[in-house]
A and B are shown apart, each in its own frame.
Chain A
Amino acid sequence: MKSQISIENVSKVFGRHKALNNVSLEIKEGEIFALLGPNGAGKTTLISAICGLCRQSSGNIKVNNFDTLTHYKETRNQIGLVPQELPLDGFESVYNSCQFSRGLFGLKDSRDHIEKILKTLSLFDKRDEQIFGLSGGMKRRLLIAKALAHEPKILFLDEPTAGVDVSLRRDIWRLIEDQKKMGVTIILTTHYIEEAEQLADRVGIINSGEIILVKEKTALMSEFSKKTTFIRLSKKLKNPSFMKKNKKISLTENGMTLKLVGINNKSNELQSIVNMLSQNGIAFTEINTVDNSLEDIFLDLVETQ
């Protein structure tokens, strides 16, 4: 897949604070890219720089090989942006607000298109209502509708599901997948790991204005994947000698459970541990294995920084 957005050595300084520190990143055409990072990591700042809401202090950003500063018309034409907050003019009606968004991109009003989007986002019944009267969830839907009003090729969603209810989150996830099928490139920021895990083709982790890592999600998962196995014992154990030899084993729950971290499937490690327990006459009632989620990987990475 060819690169659609190319960010080269971009830094952004606010006073003394470096919100972005020499960020380089390529976004490929048609992918879903999740930018994952804790609050204040610089996610919104990076999106703002690409979309024209803020100017980078140094470095270049190109969209389809056009520079975002010198050829902003060409670059912004492609982009739809759903911001993190709910910045809306409450006096306007839902339909007119979408029409306004479309018009800004130089497109003639298309009732068909706007009504179609409003239907997809369950806003059609509200089309003539003032934005004031909408619930928070409805406003977020409207911001998505506005971003799609000019049929963008690239869609930015800044924490689209932060603070929304389960049904809206499902709807947004479905919409993102539909847009991807239509060939739209999607960049979403989130601090919900679950979201990146669910949707992304690739994940970039950003912390303190720096990109720590960019990987295919599946590669990321398998590379960092560590299984944790819990063996529930019938009797309480106290510092058995075999634990000293194997660093992967520890005792938890007051000696009632053995915790095995990063057990290797290929070398039958679990089998040999179970054998060893039998040899030592230690009985157990339950074996439980859990996959580490992206969340753990993420926390590991951010904490070891």
Chain B
Amino acid sequence: MNIQAAITIYKFEMARFRRTIFQSLVAPIITTSLYFVVFGAAIGSKIETINGVSYGSFIVPGLIMLYLMTESINNAAFGIYFPKFVGSIFEVLSAPVSSLEATIGYVGAAASKSTIIGLMIFLTSNLFVTHDIKYPLVMAIFIILTAITFSLFGFIIGIWAQNWEKLSIIPTLLVTPLVFLGGSFYSIDMLPDFWQKVSLLNPVFYLISGFRWSFFGTSEIPIALSIVAILSFMAICLAVIAIIFKTGYRLRT
């Protein structure tokens, strides 16, 4: 196995992150702070506690998940789309690099970046609310699994996309709504019956719910279901990537 190649791609992608670290980190931190001011302090003070958790604390896991998912997708999609766009991908395709090694490099870097952003948001949230994490290990596992899974998903989008519009269409039209409707900022118990049922069809709901459980020890659905959901999504993404590389789809003519 050409581990050196995976490390090389990983380092190269992380170097790109370092070059743009200011935009990469400052934007999420400022937006998160605004969320806390608006939802946590202003509106949150009018909302009663949810399952014994103050509203300000309640939205922390949702916010982290929101960023983790969107940043993972965007980073991974861009990471592979950009070299495809400028043509420099030829180097990876003509090197003795297997699809697995390339995926580890690109997806690993994207997942690392979004994990760092997720942690920064968590640290920022500590400026506004105090909370004890009930199950820190579960929280870490959730962060990592989510980052990897959504980076795999973004990687697929980046390979599929043939122009910049396509690159952003799935994140904006599909993922952002799913994340917002998946209970980032509310408990689905607050919804009417019908919309509660609809929420159960939203895969993102299971992740946010499970992640929130690691913070507070309470959630709408059992934690095991959340773990199964994220692992299934990961398996689907891995299978799609395997097919992409096997057929050379959109990479090799």
Question: Is B truly associated with A?
Answer: yes
Residues of A within 8 A of B (CB): 14, 48, 51-55, 72-74, 76-77, 79, 81, 83, 85, 87-92, 96, 99-101, 103-108, 146
**Contact residue among A53, A85, A89, A104 (Cβ-Cβ distance under 8 Å from B97):** A104
User: Which B residues touch A90, using CB under 8 A?
Assistant: 86
With both chains docked as a complex, state the minimum distance between the C-beta of A264 and any C-beta of chain B, in angstroms.
Answer: 49
User: Which A residues touch B49, using CB under 8 A?
Assistant: none
**Contact residue among B5, B82, B88 (Cβ-Cβ distance under 8 Å from A103):** B5
User: Which B residues touch A79, using CB under 8 A?
Assistant: 94
Decide: A51 and B94 in contact? CB cutoff 8 A.
yes
**Contact residue among A73, A89, A96, A146 (Cβ-Cβ distance under 8 Å from B83):** A89
User: Which residue of B has the minimal Cβ distance to A108?
Assistant: B4
8 contacts between A and B (CB under 8 A): A87-B87, A88-B88, A89-B88, A91-B16, A103-B12, A105-B5, A105-B95, A106-B3
User: Which A residues touch B3, using CB under 8 A?
Assistant: 106
User: Which B residues touch A89, using CB under 8 A?
Assistant: 82-83, 86, 88
Decide: A52 and B93 in contact? CB cutoff 8 A.
yes
Decide: B91 and A106 in contact? CB cutoff 8 A.
no
CA distance A164 to B94 in the complex (A): 25
Binary per-residue interface labels of chain B (1-15) against chain A in the complex, 1 for a CB within 8 Å, 0 otherwise: 011110111011001
User: Which residue of B has the minimal Cβ distance to A72?
Assistant: B96
CA distance A91 to B92 in the complex (A): 17
Whether B46 sits at the interface, judged by CB under 8 Å, is no
CA distance A51 to B95 in the complex (A): 8
Decide: A55 and B91 in contact? CB cutoff 8 A.
no
User: Which B residues touch A104, using CB under 8 A?
Assistant: 5, 8-9, 91-92, 95-97
Whether B128 sits at the interface, judged by CB under 8 Å, is no
User: Which residue of A has the minimal Cβ distance to B7?
Assistant: A103
**Contact residue among B4, B83, B86, B90 (Cβ-Cβ distance under 8 Å from A106):** B4
CA distance A3 to B91 in the complex (A): 25
Task: Give the size of the chain B interface in residues (CB under 8 angstroms).
Answer: 30
User: Which A residues touch B82, using CB under 8 A?
Assistant: 89
Residues of B within 8 A of A (CB): 2-5, 7-9, 11-12, 15-16, 19, 82-83, 86-98, 248, 252-253
With both chains docked as a complex, state the minimum distance between the C-beta of B245 and any C-beta of chain A, in angstroms.
Answer: 12
Evaluate whether A81 and B90 lie within 8 angstroms (CB atoms) in the complex, with A52-B252, A72-B96, A100-B8 already known. yes
User: Which B residues touch A52, using CB under 8 A?
Assistant: 93-94, 252
CA distance A55 to B9 in the complex (A): 24
Decide: B88 and A76 in contact? CB cutoff 8 A.
no
Decide: B253 and A48 in contact? CB cutoff 8 A.
yes
User: Which residue of B has the minimal Cβ distance to A45?
Assistant: B253
User: Which residue of A has the minimal Cβ distance to B251?
Assistant: A53
CA distance A85 to B85 in the complex (A): 13
CA distance A88 to B98 in the complex (A): 21
Decide: B96 and A73 in contact? CB cutoff 8 A.
yes
User: Which residue of A has the minimal Cβ distance to B93?
Assistant: A53
**Residue with the greatest number of chain B CB neighbours at <10 A, chosen from A89, A101, A108:** A89
With both chains docked as a complex, state the minimum distance between the C-beta of A133 and any C-beta of chain B, in angstroms.
Answer: 15
With both chains docked as a complex, state the minimum distance between the C-beta of A227 and any C-beta of chain B, in angstroms.
Answer: 44
With both chains docked as a complex, state the minimum distance between the C-beta of A217 and any C-beta of chain B, in angstroms.
Answer: 28
Decide: B2 and A106 in contact? CB cutoff 8 A.
yes
User: Which residue of B has the minimal Cβ distance to A78?
Assistant: B96
User: Which A residues touch B98, using CB under 8 A?
Assistant: 73
CA distance A108 to B2 in the complex (A): 11
With both chains docked as a complex, state the minimum distance between the C-beta of A150 and any C-beta of chain B, in angstroms.
Answer: 8
**Contact residue among A53, A87, A103 (Cβ-Cβ distance under 8 Å from B253):** A53
With both chains docked as a complex, state the minimum distance between the C-beta of B81 and any C-beta of chain A, in angstroms.
Answer: 12
**Contact residue among B16, B91, B248 (Cβ-Cβ distance under 8 Å from A101):** B91
**Residue with the greatest number of chain B CB neighbours at <10 A, chosen from A14, A52, A83, A92:** A52
User: Which B residues touch A88, using CB under 8 A?
Assistant: 86-88
CA distance A91 to B8 in the complex (A): 16
User: Which residue of B has the minimal Cβ distance to A99?
Assistant: B8
CA distance A49 to B253 in the complex (A): 9
User: Which residue of B has the minimal Cβ distance to A74?
Assistant: B96
User: Which residue of A has the minimal Cβ distance to B87?
Assistant: A87
**Residue with the greatest number of chain A CB neighbours at <10 A, chosen from B5, B9, B82:** B5
**Contact residue among B15, B91, B93, B248 (Cβ-Cβ distance under 8 Å from A96):** B15
